Amino acid sequence: MALRQVVSLDTDPETGRLRERVRSWLAEHLDDEFRRTAANADYLPRDSHERAVQFCRALHEQGWFVPHWPVEHGGGGLDVVQQVVIREELAYAGAPIVNNNGVNMLAPVLMAYGTAKQQAEHLPLIARSERMWAQGYSEVGAGSDLAALRMTARRDGDEYVLNGHKTWTSNGMLADWIFVLARTSPVERKRQDGISFFLVDMASEGIIRRPIRSMTGYPTFAEEFFDDVRVPADQLVGGEGEGWRVAKALLNAERTNVTRAAQAQRYLDELVEWCHRQGPGNPLLDPGRRAAVARVIEKVEMGRALSYRIAHLQAERALTPGIASLSKLYHSELAAEVRSVGADVLGLPGMLLPQDPDAVLHGHFSEGLLLSLLHRIGGGTSEIQRDVIATTALGLPR
């Protein structure tokens, strides 16, 4: 199945040829194991995740794993439209892109705020899928209200000593390293002051981690306990007390969701083709269901246009928090609506999870419906995104 575009956003012939090359390569190298799952590759069991890592290394050899990175950091250095085309095709095909925390979140921060030593140490390993990263932000009582975090980092010579607890840590069980926010000085004028951003080896003495399973059964999250964990001072990013500025830049990168519309398009195409195969029992013969699917198709096209706009703003270093939150909100809600409409069209069989032999369409809609709840919370809830849009983009009072 090929990505069908209602409106073409890449009219250059060379870009079209690139799309075909990526599509052909995926047809030959992407295993059906990954086409059949709706889950993020970092949520898969360890054996499947290892196979996904090998796929991403092969993708990197083609120059397509980090096409949006500068060449000097191991990326493809491609123009904006070429980057989006590659990432659209990967998302549509179900390619298992591992290490989102490292590739799309930490890497932009290191390019902007990291030292030359930090960039040289970490970026090549991320590009080659040789170092997996976890996000150590949330704590008990400090999730959406992140500035309430209580983990501490005390300077001791050439090291910092970290103590505290992190929870709901994305990719926490599979990661080799974790980026962590910790308080290096007590709260004075603002809670955001005195927070610092650290890169921590998960093999460090004093770290205990435990899995937190999601509703899908995947070890999606973990919690970590830090007991006098020593971190070299040269793994501090952006300077002591500058962690909030670095953290906001990372959240901007996390919230862009450039590929989410292409993934939604894939599920819609599967759904419509399945309906047509039902003959007289086609659920889309019902006017209400047909109208619901049509509305979602319209929203997917709007999402694709928004994705291209976001990519251009990123390339121009002009992406603002309000626009990033708009993209996060739009695509999180879109993913949930696509899964909800699909579940309604498929009926009771569409509720079966992928492991059930009678699951319809590989359980994409049942699994995706559960995962869409995560998307509405992770990276900042939809309510938080609306608040950011209102205050930073529209200038409304708090």
- Chain-centroid distance, C-alpha 270: 23
Cα 50 from Cα 41, distance rounded (Å): 10
Under 8 Å between Cβ of 44 and 343: no
The residues facing 160 across adjacent strands are 155, 231
Question: Is 205 annotated in the active site?
Answer: no
User: Which residue among the candidates 88, 89, 254, 367 is catalytic per the annotation?
Assistant: 254
**Gyration radius of the chain over CA positions:** 21
- Cα dihedral 289, 303, 113, 174, rounded to 10, equals 30
Residue 111 CB neighbour total at 10 angstroms: 15
Determine contact, residues 264/303, Cβ cutoff 8 Å. Answer: yes
Q: Phi, psi at residue 198, to the nearest 5°?
A: -120, 150
Q: How many CB atoms lie within 10 A of CB 286?
A: 12
Q: At what angle do helices 260-276 and 321-346 cross, to 10 degrees?
A: 20
CB-based contact 69:107 (threshold 8 Å): yes
Instruction: Enter the DSSP assignment of 72.
Output: G
DSSP string across 130-186: -S-EEEE--BTTBSSSGGG---EEEEETTEEEEEEEEEEEETTTT-SEEEEEEESS-
> Do residues 67 and 87 make contact, with C-beta atoms less than 8 angstroms apart?
yes
Neighbours of 159 (CB within 10 A): 16
Contact 175, 132 (CB under 8 A): yes
Taking alpha carbons only, the member of 300, 339, 306 closest to residue 325 is 306
Block residue for tokens 């069989």: 349
In the numeric block, which tokens belong to residue 234?
């040269």
Pairing of strands 159-170, 207-212: unpaired
Environment class of residue 319 by beta-carbon count within 10 Å: exposed (0-12), middle (13-18) or buried (19+)? buried
Active site residues: 254
